[in-house]
Amino acid sequence: MCSLCGVLGCDDHWTSAIARPGVYTRNTDRLNRRREAANRIKLANVLLEPRRLKIAEWQGASYVLSSPTGRTQVFESLAHLWPEAEAMTGRALDPLDPDFLERLKQRIEAAS
């Protein structure tokens, strides 16, 4: 059950929609699903670095977000990552924030 909205089985987020005719998704077969999930975790961790948070998959069905002080939060859909991360740090995570973008640019430089 989703801890934010209290709804069962709500993981039909547009980024990983349930495969059906005409809908674009990488949530198709096991291999694609695993690969995309791994990529999302990897990218999410880079985006969470400035807030010193980490996310990991938990038993292939949920996600665990953890803070450097040991706080953890489990949720079932990546749709809840950003509200959960904001709740955990008490700070907004804004993709339009110049400082945040600057950190990401430095990260791109570092990866080059």
Partner 1 sequence: MTAEPRPANLTPVNFLTGFLGSGKTTLLQRLLADPAMANAAVLINEFGEVGLDHHLLDRIDDNVVLLKSGCLCCTVRGEVADALQKLDSQRSRDEIPWFDRVVIETTGLADPFPALSTIQSHPVLRSHFAIANVVVTVDAVNGSRQLDERLEAVRQVGAADVVVITKTDMDEATDTDALLEKLSRLNPSARRVIAQEASADDFLVDASTERSEEWLSEALSLSEEFAAPVHHHHDEEGHHGHAHSSVRSFSMVIEERIDWTGFGMWLTMLLNRHGDRVFRVKGILDIEGEERPVAIHGVQRLVHPPVHMSAWPDRRRQSRIVFIVDGLDPARIEESFHVFNRLSEKVLTQGGTPPLRRAS
Residues that bind partner 1 (CB under 8 A): 5, 7-10, 12-17, 20-26, 35-36, 38-40, 42-44, 46-47, 78-79, 81-83, 86, 92-96, 98, 101, 104-105, 107-108, 111-112
Minimum Å distance from CB 30 to partner 1?
A: 13
Q: Which two tokens stand for residue 73?
A: 């939060």
| CB closer to partner 1 out of 62 and 70 | 62
Report how far residue 6's alpha carbon sits from residue 17's, in angstroms, rounded to the nearest whole number. Answer: 20
| CB closer to partner 1 out of 21 and 70 | 21
| CB closer to partner 1 out of 5 and 74 | 5
Query: What are residue 75's phi and psi, to 5 degrees?
Result: -145, 160
Q: Can you say how many angstroms the Cα of residue 96 is from the centroid of all Cα atoms in its chain?
A: 18
Minimum Å distance from CB 107 to partner 1?
A: 6
| CB closer to partner 1 out of 58 and 82 | 82
Q: Can you say how many angstroms the Cα of residue 10 is from the centroid of all Cα atoms in its chain?
A: 15
Name the burial class of residue 43, with classes exposed (0-12), middle (13-18) and buried (19+) by CB atoms within 10 angstroms of its CB: exposed
